[in-house]
Each structure stands twice: as C-alpha cells, then as structure tokens.
Chain A
Amino acid sequence: MVTGATQQTLRDGLSLELRRGALVLAVLLELRHEEYGYSLKRLLSQKGLEIDEGTLYPLLRRLESQGLLRSAWRVEDGRPRRYYQASAQGAKLAKELTAEWRKLADALGTVIG
C-alpha cells in the first residue's frame, strides 16, 4: 500500500521529470540573449520557473559541451562572470522544440479535457 510519504515522493519525482524536459527548452529560449548563470536563474524565476541552482548551472555546461550554447568570461562589477548564449544550433533546436512543445501541450490539453 502506498503511504502518504511515498505518494509525496512519487509525486515529487514525477513532477521533477515533467519539468526537466521543459527546463532545457526554457533555458535555450531565454538564452537568445546573453545571460550569466545567476541572471538566468533570476529571469526564469520571475517567469514562474523555479530551478534549483545545483541543477541549472551543470545543465548550462552540458548544453555548452553539446554545442547548443557558447560562453565567454567577462569581468563585470569587478567580478568575473561566465556569459552564455544559445549557438545557432541551439537557437534552431529551440524553435523545433517549441513547435514540439506546442503540439504536446495541445494533445495533452485534449487528453485532459
């Protein structure tokens, strides 16, 4: 039998999975303009996407290693910061994923009723 705590853990896990896919798309879209890690987190947070920093920053590195982002170090306000921006490949992928997302949202909307 599923206890309340297990149910909660299960819901948290599935919710995380649901958000994970969306997160890549959100990052690629926000990075149409150059941002550094913390400013990106703040931007996403302002739009209702709360993301754990320990997840977001490694994700940026991974997307960069996949060629979807490019980055450069710059000193701003006396602090060195790494700025990220979507590469041409990343921007193209973001468009494709957006179309995919819309289709999925429509389909799911129909399923939900």
Chain B
Amino acid sequence: MMKILRPMVVFTGILMVWQLVVWLFDIAPFILPGPISVITVAIERADTLVGHAGVTLSEILLGLLFGTILGVGSALIMAYFRQARSWLLPVLVVSQAAPVFALAPVLVLWFGYGIAPKVGMATLIIYFPVTAAFYDGLRRTEAGWVDLARTMGASKATILRQIRLPAALPAFASGVRVAAAVAPIGAVVGEWVGSSAGLGYYMLLMNGRVQTAAMFAALFVLAIMSVCIYFLIDAALRRLIAWQPEADPASFN
C-alpha cells in the first residue's frame, strides 16, 4: 500500500506546487497552464486524446514487437555463428553510433505519413538494447552447466534450448525493460517529423495553435501510457523469470 501511496503523495505535491507557481507569478496560460486547466481540457477533449493515444500506442507496441523479434534473432545468430558475429557486430555498433532520430525524415520520406515510419523508428531504437542484452546473456552461460550437460550427453542444440536460452532470460528481460522505456520516444519523434495522427502530432498541432493546455494534456496521456506499458511489461517479465531470486541492491550494504 505504501508503495503506491508514496509516489502518489509526491505527485500530488508537485501538482500543488505547480498550481501555486502559476497563481503566485501570474504566468500567462499560453506559456504554462496550471494543472487544473490542463485536467479540464483533458476531460473536455477526452475523445480526441484517446483517438490519438490509440495510434501512438499501436506504434509503440508494434515497434516493441518487431524490435524484440529482430533483436532476439540477431543475438541468437551472433551467439551461434562465429562468422556472423564478425559481420553483424560492427553493423550493430554503427547503427547506434548514427543518431537514429536523424533517420526519422528519411523513414517518413520512404514510408509516408502513416504508421509505418513510426513503427520503424521505435523498432530501430529498441533493436539495440534488446540485441546487446540478450547476446551478452547468451555468452555468459555458466561454464559448469555446459560441462555438466556435455557429460550427460546433450547435443549442442539441446544445450542451447535447455540451458543457454533460459539462463539468458534475465539479461533479455533487462534489455526489454530498457526497450519498453525508450519505445515511446521513437514513436513520438516519428510523429513529430511527419504524421496526421498520434499524440506527438497532436502536441505539435496544439503548440501551433497556442493551445498550450491541450498540448500538456496530450503530454500527460503519453506519460501515463508509457508508465503503464513499462509496468505491464515489467510484470510479465518478472513472471517469466520468477525462478530468479530477487536481490535487493540495498541489502548488499
């Protein structure tokens, strides 16, 4: 209970300070609207916001899906084929060295104003953390487990399926958690560059019309959505690796 209560208290406190600042310094509503007017606008335009949120949500989820599939595939290929590793690893590093955001206009140019370039952006952003984490997990299998399996007469394929893969799941989970946190960035950047729907698009539109409260409302919806995605994915991953003993970093002291 306290776990939920504490962040709620902090959050409410921030909203109150914000409203207070707006009142005390008499800030113009088109610069910084108070939380009360943001919430009012959010309720008034709930239908519009939900519509745009749906577009952004599907971009994020599809990006997560494709990015994870590609990442898992690349990690497996790199872990199992020495040849592929020397080809793929530099590509992977370069793909991250080049700022992915800079690719957004190109993706829009190629794939148009629809959902595709945003999914592409999210996929690109997610691909690296998933690949890197899962590849690392596959490489760091406890050597003793592999020894044991070999004395038991296990084939290489069985060792992969029964030992290396499950052993790499905690690392994979870390990668997907990072991916879940950055996926909304990809989708929104894609929408900013060129789109006709989505929360990022709506924010820019409201910004242009100096309807700052509506812009903030869209921002709030995006934030709440991102947090929900993160916690749902985190819960699912915990279930997947329930066997892993929880280590509380604080307990190391």
User: Do A and B truly interact?
Assistant: no
